[in-house]
Amino acid sequence: MKITDVQAIILRQPAMDVSKADGSQDALLIRIETDEGITGIGEVDSLPPVVKAIVEAPPSHAIASGLRHLLLGENPLEIDRLWHKLYRGTIYYGRGGPAIHAISGIDIALWDIKGKALGQPIHRLLGGPHRTAIRAYASTLMPDTPQETSQVVAALVERGFTAIKLGWGPLGRDADLDVALVRAAREAAGDTIELMVDIGLGWSDADHAIRQVRRFEPYRPYWVEEPLWPDDVAGYRKLADAVETRIACGEEDVTRWGFDQLMERTRVDVIQPDVTRAGGISECVRIAHLAELRGVAMVPHSWSTGIIKAASLHVIGAMAKATFLEYCVQETALNQLLTVERFPVVDGMVALPEGPGLGIEIDEEVVARYAV
Ligand SMILES: [Mg+2]
């Protein structure tokens, strides 16, 4: 089998509120075509026009090339060799950031092709599944007031979620409001629901973070996520060592080398590689193994469309130990309609896809409506 085309398609809803941290308003769809009529689908959650340029750029020289040039004519089943060819072929401008993001979308599409060619879901090709369904945590933005927070949490409990994360929004602007919002969330959730709080890089330094996490303790957050900038590794280490509450981070980090350093230097409890950014399905499996060695939980970051939900489910399904799927509940068209599959939540659980490859179908009418 040979790769005949690699497409990077930008999808974007007509009205965007770019002041919100909601990446489900646009998307970058990867499509890899083969000479045997099998098409692979992938997604990249990054800045779509930048990723499109990295896919399409003509080569400059042996270690500075666009990805499409490196893939045409290759056998799509040789995923690990191709991952390393792309890594090496972009090393002058890559190693991190959008080049690895773009490689992630390619890697997902290659796994989709391999699964379709072999008639198996990806989680089985990875050696799983260790489970057929995974507990979902509902993931949404933190509302502006405690009253709205109560309503949002109550509605998610009503939908059957047993774990809920609220993030970004006003968190970090006012220390007392942070506590009031978390208190409102706990009161609305009751005692049995797990609550995660994503500070969205909102706290200034480790000392402030330590004080705030201690103020959250009566409301028992399952974890507190991204209180500090990702490069403040000393701050994360000070915080993680000081508090009992789990600290989570890593959605901006990439590759096995990056996460090895992150775990070594921050000593956080939970890492959150995003399968559409951190290096794809292949790299997230490698990162999961590194985390297991260190006793760190890996709960992939997963926002936006059904493609990332499916890709994350395959990775999680193949992990010996796993806790949650991040389940974005944003009511954007791209989150809710891009895949034909809707990933229903039943008793707080989401089933692993069982069809070949990713086990999803793209709604081509949605692609046609939002492609730019
Ligand atoms: Mg986050």
CA of 365 to the centre of ligand 1 (A): 30
38: number of Cβ within 10 Å: 18
Q: How far is CA 368 from CA 22, 338, 365, in A?
A: 22, 11, 5
- Give the pLDDT score at 164: 98
CA of 213 to the centre of ligand 1 (A): 16
CA of 340 to the centre of ligand 1 (A): 26
> For residue 309, which amino acid is it?
K
Question: In the CATH scheme, what is the homologous superfamily, with its name and number, of domain 3-119?
Answer: Enolase-like, N-terminal domain (3.30.390.10)
290 and 259 in contact (C-beta within 8 Å)? yes
Beta strands 26-34 and 39-44, pairing class: antiparallel
CA of 301 to the centre of ligand 1 (A): 7
Q: Give me the count of residues in the chain.
A: 372
CATH match of 125-362 with 3.20.20.120: yes
- Give the pLDDT score at 36: 98
- Give the pLDDT score at 362: 97
User: How far, in Å, CA of 83 to CA of 278, rounded?
Assistant: 12
User: How far, in Å, CA of 129 to CA of 56, rounded?
Assistant: 35
CA of 36 to the centre of ligand 1 (A): 39
> For residue 295, which amino acid is it?
G
CA of 231 to the centre of ligand 1 (A): 15
User: How far, in Å, CA of 283 to CA of 372, rounded?
Assistant: 30
CA of 24 to the centre of ligand 1 (A): 13
Domain range list for the chain = 3-119, 125-362
194-208 in b/e form (b: 16+ CB < 10 A) is: bbbbbbbbbbeebeb
Q: How far is CA 287 from CA 48, 166, 302, in A?
A: 25, 25, 16
Ion ligand 1: protein residues whose beta carbon lies under 5 Å: 198, 251
CA of 247 to the centre of ligand 1 (A): 12
CA of 110 to the centre of ligand 1 (A): 27
- Give the pLDDT score at 96: 95
Positions in the chain short of pLDDT 50? none
CA of 12 to the centre of ligand 1 (A): 22
- Give the pLDDT score at 347: 95
321: left (phi over 0), alpha (psi -120 to 50) or beta: beta
Percentages helix, strand, coil for the chain (3-state, rounded to 5) are 40, 20, 40
- Give the pLDDT score at 81: 98
CA of 88 to the centre of ligand 1 (A): 29
Report whether the peptide linkage leading into residue 230 is cis, meaning its omega lies within 30 degrees of zero: no
